[in-house]
Amino acid sequence: MAIYDFPKKTAVEPITGKKPANKNGRYVIAFLLIDLVIIGSVLFGLYLYPRLVASYEKMKSELPSIAENWIKERFNPPSAPEKGIGKYVAQNTQEQAVINTVEETSPAVVSIIVSKDVPIFEEYYINPFEGMPDFGFPSFDFQVPQYRQKGTEKKEIGGGTGFIISSDGMLITNKHVVNDNSAEYTVYTNDGKKYPAKLLAKDSFQDLTILKIQDDTGVIFSVARLGDSDGIRIGQSAIAIGNALGEFRNTVSVGVISGLGRTVTATGAGMSETIQDVIQTDAAINPGNSGGPLLNLRGEVIGINTAIASGAENIGFAIPINKAKRAIESVKASGKITYPLLGVRYVTITEKVKKDNNLAVDEGALVKKGENGEAAVTAGSAADKAGIKEGDIILEINGDKITAENSLSKILLNYKPGDTIQISILRNNQNIILSAVLDERTE
């Protein structure tokens, strides 16, 4: 076998064609790097590792509290914590004012239940032809339903809201809530206790009634604070509290005063009456809220909720509390509500009344007979004594002009029985000034 001995050649790099580097230098660098890694590992183990372990343990122990604080700051839950854990914090001063007002006034707000003995009827049947001769015709068993009274039963026939105005249990509500003199009235206070109540007086001009809780145990009742309705402004906040739907006691709704000086005609329960100079609010007033308080953010009663606009969204009306104060003071002083009485029947003059009656003025009160022929001037009344006659036009009372917005009855409510007033009259196109001493009228 032949052995070929090829001549030795210098190897070349496949791509560059350069000579390969010296491999001995590479080995030296590699060993140096290994030494550095070994030395660094020893130093890390001796010095840095214990400190890293301590930092890790500290961070692990503090992490839950850091996470909890972050969640509280990030989400800030608005709802109150569970009872016993903490206290609810209001989001702003207005919200806190609403809360304070409700907490202060709710104990003075009551629910009124109206009950009455109503007859119980039973149904029975009779044959109207029973006992009559049949004249040879086939007889039929006719049965005609009849009804007869079978005793009476106590039954709830209505309800509403009221609020207490004296510590001995005097309270005020709407007249239409407690208009039945033969009914019985039960008052439920905010703490769930119930008391019989007695009707003291009615204010037919203002749709108001004052009741008295009948209690002989000496209970001191919480009293609602009365404010000043003359100072309220459109846009200010308003809070209504009442027995919504006759079922949900002390229901709270919040809104604003949306109008002032309104005149509305309220109908319901077979009644119809016009109420002047009332407050309009968009705080929801539901059936059953009648007679409840309308409050400002200071916790003062500024109105008495009385009616809602049918078919509207949150248009309700309240009687200004200043108009109720006179009735309250009168009952406290004399046990009854008295009114000033002039003794005339009249119609407030409008453009239509002016045209229909061929009048010379478009304002004032035309003295005229009632629809059923009732006398225009009541005999022996203050108007009769002052010399007012049918056909006169009353223009002013003590300089206060009579207009469609400022009626004669509204003006007279500013006075008391026994007050002397100056009356400006237009008679046969001549101005006359008469003087009258107002009479007293009670319901």
Catalytic residues: 176, 207, 290
Alpha helices in 86-214 (DSSP H): 93-105
Amino acid at 195: Y
What is the rounded distance in angstroms from the CA atom of residue 360 to the CA atom of residue 280? 35
What residues have CB less than 8 Å from 419, skipping those under 6 apart?
Answer: 340, 437, 438
What residues have CB less than 8 Å from 81, skipping those under 6 apart?
Answer: 87, 88
Measuring CA to CA, which residue among 318, 338, 335 is closest to residue 326? 338
**Gap between the terminal Cα atoms of the chain:** 152
Q: Which two tokens stand for residue 43?
A: 């130093």
What is the rounded distance in angstroms from the CA atom of residue 304 to the CA atom of residue 314? 16
3-class state of residue 384 by DSSP: helix
User: Whose structure tokens read 């200010």?
Assistant: 236
Q: Which two tokens stand for residue 228?
A: 């000043």
Amino acid at 393: I
